[in-house]
Structure 1
Amino acid sequence: MNVVMKKLLSLLSLLTVLFIFSFSNQSISDEQGHGTSEHMEHKSTSPGMIHMSHADMINSEQDFLREMIPHHQEAVDTSILLFVFTDDKELKMLTEAIYTSQSKEILDMRLSYARWYNLIPTGASYQPMMRDLNLITDQERETRYVQDMIVHHKGALDMAEKVLTLDGIHEETVIFAKHILESQQLEIELMQRWLKGAEASQ
């Protein structure tokens, strides 16, 4: 790969990160109709927040996409932060994989939502599930990330299972939900093994 191509790929990666962060920080008016959006209000939650609460909110395909977009965004944002700070090779690979796959899925979901419902989704009443990773030591940050991401992934599994029980959903959503069930279960197993290893080394 020549130098010019490497610089272009590096610039593209930086622009992608900025693009993702711009969506996570925007605040738009309530969903009211054509070209409007849904207001997302993030509130602090306890580490013990029950992941089932998100699945309980899924009563339609539209609910699923509206909740899954900020759910993915939270995973992307926390993964970016840990990727920067961790030196653990396994966590480096995991956070990069989550960032890469879920950033693309966020874009796909937003495009589908706009196409199917003629609206801009920004998260509705999504409640964050993961604890703050700032102002703690590196080891604490790694452990907290893995613990919370396991619960976070289990929430995604519940949401995916719920949407697959609904009638009349698009084939794209069926494929996406099944992919979540497969890929995130594998990541949960990886994280559970990592936790066991971390506990054994203490």
Structure 2
Amino acid sequence: MTHNRPTLRRAAALVAAGTACLLLTACGGDGDSTTPTHGSHASASASASAPASAGRHNAADTAFAQGMIPHHRQAVEMAGLAPDRAGSAQVKKLAEDIEKAQEPEIRTLSGWLASWGEDVPAEGSTDHSGHTMGGMGGMMTAEDMDALKKAKGRAFDRAFLKMMIEHHEGAVDMARAEQSGGAHAPAKKMAGRIITSQSAEIDLMKQLLDRG
């Protein structure tokens, strides 16, 4: 029996220490249960909401992207006619700038729609009917595009400038609608760039027209 007493004492000490530890943990939990638990929920909520907020969009964003893609595609198509048809170096440079600006935006807009699970307008689906469905104003008709393709030199320059002014004005209207009604911050930022750049190009094109 004498040999077992140290073992019994050690066992009792371990049990006591374990009990004290449990009591301290329980006390600490009662005193701070609201703060750490709430904090951890807040952190989880913040981390979960961050990507959701970054990708948040509404119907206005979808309409903007789905309308601007075919709208930009037609502008790029029009600009692509300039190298072989335009008589003015300024018109050729303007057309080049339009292509450089709008082709990357088409890719960005398409990426947003795909990430949102929304339909991306198919290639070649540009509507030349001239309607304004979804606020897509300024679109040229098939007849407009045929006339532009047949024009050369100064006649092309003037037709191109007149059509592109109307086209840009439609894009600016669409961009303003996105800024006022959209929820996706990157889309609203793009809309702001479109308003600024295309408004400046409208002014330039009007000046070129006035010069004759």
What is the TM-score when the length of structure 1 is the normalising length?
0.64
User: Who wins on radius of gyration, i.e. which is larger?
Assistant: 2
Q: What code does the residue aligned with 2:171 have?
A: A
SS, match of residue 119 in structure 1 = coil
Q: How do 1:117-136 residues align onto structure 2 when only pairs under 5 Å count? A: 117-122=117-122, 127-128=129-130, 129-130=139-140, 131-132=144-145, 133-136=148-151
Whole-Å separation in 1 of the counterparts to 2:126 and 2:74: 14
Is 1:186 aligned to 2:200, yes or no?
Answer: yes
Whole-Å separation in 1 of the counterparts to 2:121 and 2:152: 35
Shift of the 135–87 alpha-carbon distance from structure 1 to 2, 3 Å rule, reads closer
Q: Using the TM superposition, give the Cα deviation of residue 166 of structure 1 relative to its aligned residue in structure 2, in angstroms.
A: 1.1
Q: Using the TM superposition, give the Cα deviation of residue 110 of structure 1 relative to its aligned residue in structure 2, in angstroms.
A: 0.5
Whole-Å separation in 2 of the counterparts to 1:126 and 1:112: 24
Q: Using the TM superposition, give the Cα deviation of residue 135 of structure 1 relative to its aligned residue in structure 2, in angstroms.
A: 2.1
Shift of the 97–190 alpha-carbon distance from structure 1 to 2, 3 Å rule, reads same
Cα RMSD (Å): 2.1
Q: Using the TM superposition, give the Cα deviation of residue 144 of structure 1 relative to its aligned residue in structure 2, in angstroms.
A: 0.7
Q: What code does the residue aligned with 1:136 have?
A: A
Match of 2:51 in 1: none
Is 1:60 aligned to 2:60, yes or no?
Answer: yes
Match of 1:158 in 2: 173
SS, match of residue 176 in structure 1 = helix
Match of 1:11 in 2: none
**1:1-43, CA deviations, whole angstroms, 9 ceiling, x for partnerless residues?**
xxxxxxxxxxxxxxxxxxxxxxxxxxxxxxxxxxxxxxxxxxx
Q: Using the TM superposition, give the Cα deviation of residue 68 of structure 1 relative to its aligned residue in structure 2, in angstroms.
A: 0.4
SS, match of residue 149 in structure 2 = coil
Out of 158, 175, 185, the residue aligned to residue 143 of structure 1 is 158
Q: What code does the residue aligned with 1:97 have?
A: D
2:85–2:151 contact (8 Å) kept in structure 1: no
1:80–1:95 contact (8 Å) kept in structure 2: yes
Q: What code does the residue aligned with 1:82 have?
A: A
Match of 1:36 in 2: none
1:67–1:124 contact (8 Å) kept in structure 2: no
**1:121-167, CA deviations, whole angstroms, 9 ceiling, x for partnerless residues?**
23586745232212233221111110010011000111011111115
Q: Using the TM superposition, give the Cα deviation of residue 77 of structure 1 relative to its aligned residue in structure 2, in angstroms.
A: 0.5
Structure 1: give runs of 5+ residues left out of the alignment. Answer: 1-58
Q: Using the TM superposition, give the Cα deviation of residue 116 of structure 1 relative to its aligned residue in structure 2, in angstroms.
A: 1.4
Shift of the 97–82 alpha-carbon distance from structure 1 to 2, 3 Å rule, reads same
Shift of the 102–134 alpha-carbon distance from structure 1 to 2, 3 Å rule, reads same
Shift of the 127–165 alpha-carbon distance from structure 1 to 2, 3 Å rule, reads farther
What is the TM-score when the length of structure 2 is the normalising length?
0.61
Whole-Å separation in 2 of the counterparts to 1:152 and 1:138: 21
**1:63-104, CA deviations, whole angstroms, 9 ceiling, x for partnerless residues?**
111010000000000101112222411111100000111011
Greater length-normalized contact order (CA 8 Å, ≥ 6 residues apart): 1
May I ask how many residue pairs the two structures share in their alignment?
A: 140
Q: Which has the higher helix share?
A: 2
Q: What code does the residue aligned with 2:61 have?
A: E
1:79–1:98 contact (8 Å) kept in structure 2: yes
Match of 2:29 in 1: none
